């Protein structure tokens, strides 16, 4: 068994035992350390919730915790971009082949669609983590950023958690299939 398989088994087991905490931590960590994809964790959590007999109403706290974790994590990225500013960020982004011209085009686009970009960007993989950078660079007001981030994250959390829940219902797993570690 490879390290990635071991990680997936550990995540599944952790979620099975700590469903609500796991959702929050996965969302918080994903925005800071992208290798933990909520696109895999949230549907798994929904599936496990179905297996554990949690009713639909019990998914609401999971959705809110997922959105809260994502909002806290992505707000850290926003604050870093806000505090570092454009010049410092450009210096570091040159190492990953992001030019000033690319930054300018993103800034123009963001200035035009900022609110919508943050809301919709929280629902698109990869952009989910990156939308905080232009918001911070262009000094989007913090309350506005947090509101649109939380709202978009709620939609993302609901869609991904419910997809796992309904998948579990569709295939009719009523007993646990959580892998057990030796």
Size of the chain, expressed as the number of residues it contains: 182
Residue 169 CA, chain-centre distance (Å), reads 24
- The CB-based long-range contact list for 105-108 (8 Å cut-off, 24+ gap) reads 106/134, 107/134, 107/137, 107/138
* Measured distance CA(17)–CA(11) in Å, rounded: 10
pLDDT of residue 26: 81
* Measured distance CA(30)–CA(129) in Å, rounded: 8
| Block mean pLDDT (10 aa), the chain, length 182 | 65 78 84 69 89 92 95 91 79 68 77 86 81 86 95 95 91 56 48
pLDDT of residue 91: 73
pLDDT of residue 157: 94
């Amino acid at each position: 068994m490879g390290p990635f398989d071991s990680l997936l088994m550990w995540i599944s087991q952790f979620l099975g035992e700590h469903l609500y905490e796991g959702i929050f931590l996965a969302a918080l960590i994903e925005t800071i350390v992208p290798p933990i994809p909520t696109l895999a964790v949230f549907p798994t959590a929904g599936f496990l919730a179905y297996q554990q007999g949690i009713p639909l109403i019990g998914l609401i706290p999971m959705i809110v915790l997922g959105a809260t974790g994502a909002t806290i994590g992505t707000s850290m990225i926003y604050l870093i971009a806000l505090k570092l500013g454009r010049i410092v960020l450009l210096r570091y982004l040159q190492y990953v082949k992001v030019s000033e011209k690319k930054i300018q085009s993103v800034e123009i686009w963001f200035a035009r669609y900022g609110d919508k970009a943050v809301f919709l960007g929280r629902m698109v993989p990869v952009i989910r983590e990156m939308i905080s950078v232009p918001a911070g660079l262009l000094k989007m007001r913090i309350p506005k950023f947090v509101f649109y981030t939380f709202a978009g994250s709620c939609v993302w959390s609901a869609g991904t958690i419910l997809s796992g829940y309904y998948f579990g219902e569709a295939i009719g797993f009523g007993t646990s299939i959580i892998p057990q570690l030796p």
